[in-house]
Copies of this chain bind each other. A is one copy, B any other.
Amino acid sequence: MRKIGLLTSGGDSPGMNAAIRAVVRTALYYDMEVYGIRHGYQGMIEGDIFQMKTTDVANIIQRGGTILKTARSDAFKTDEGRKAAYDQLQKHGIEALVLIGGDGTFRGAVEFFKQYTIPAVGLPGTIDKDLSGSDFTIGFDTAVNTAVEAIDKIRDTAEAHDRLFVIEVMGRDAGYIALNSGIACGAEDILIPEIMTDIEDVLCRIDSDERRSKSVHILVVAEGDEFGGAAEVAKRIIERFPKIDTRYAVLGHIQRGGSPTYADRVLASRLGYAAVLALRENKTQVMTGIVNGDITYTPFQQVIKTNAGISTDMIEMIRVLSV
């Protein structure tokens, strides 16, 4: 194998650049050529492809975003689109692919690989950490720390005013960011999609805290909680407790950016390095991951969203620690 293509797809996450760097440098070390494909599958279709040198990845390990850019591609869901994409790979002589992204990135590729035979290895790049096959995903650690820094700041002003704050963090299908940022910030309550929200329970705990003169409350809500987002929750609290000074905040897109933490950089470096070694060992259509500290490989078809590790025990702990 001499020429590999590399792309990032789906939502961007901090550490993707560190992964790109690791793939490029490892491949060059083993005398492969690397072709960067811009804007994910869409760029593959459009032939937005360029050869990458070691200087292209100099000084990017610490930068958020992705220098290869990312995009959605409706065209790639069509036969014509996939054909055009394959033609571009052929045209550039690309013999294998490295794909960095979330579950959609790998699911999106399954159909492609049914039709066109080309070796491919994936890396889990998503802030949501909700992929089977890896204990951590590239970007999660940074996203939680970003959320924690923001919630710490909001707590300052909540304390100053004796306010109740409902804070919405990212996580459409999974509560990992909410759970971990909530524990880390000493949140009084955490609402996540994995656990049915009983709003009466939430209100009851607020009432009980109020009676004990606990004047500051932080509730962390995952955006994907089935009850609704921070605005919804705040509305219900205000209805019930009009005297409590209640506000809400949606942290939003800041959680996707920023310089990656060491953990995300090291994870991205290890996985990028492993992905190229995997290609050399003729592994294909697998996502590299880290399980219990060791590199693992999971077939693309088996990479699904998962909520492993979120249990009612953790919620119980939160309640105990916020007394």
Binding site for B on A (CB under 8 A): 8, 12, 14, 16, 18, 21-22, 25-26, 28-29, 39, 54, 59, 61-66, 69-71, 135, 141, 144-148, 150, 152-157, 159-162, 165, 180-181, 183-186, 247, 249-254, 256-259, 261-263, 265-266, 269-270, 273, 292-293, 309, 317, 320-323
Contacts and interface: CB of A to CB of B under 8 A. Distances in A.
Contacts of A61: 184-186
Given A69-B160, A162-B69, A183-B269, A250 B253 contact: no
Contacts of A257: 152-157
10 closest Cβ contacts across the A-B interface?
Answer: A153-B257, A156-B257, A64-B156, A12-B160, A65-B156, A184-B265, A184-B262, A157-B256, A65-B160, A292-B292
Which secondary structure dominates where chain A touches chain B?
Answer: helix
A153 B159 contact: no
B156 A14 contact: yes
A42 to B, nearest CB: 11
A252 B161 CA distance: 15
A154 B250 CA distance: 14
Nearest to A26: B320
20 contacts: A12-B157, A14-B156, A28-B323, A59-B155, A62-B152, A69-B161, A69-B162, A141-B262, A141-B263, A144-B263, A154-B257, A157-B253, A180-B262, A184-B266, A185-B265, A247-B253, A249-B252, A249-B253, A273-B320, A292-B293
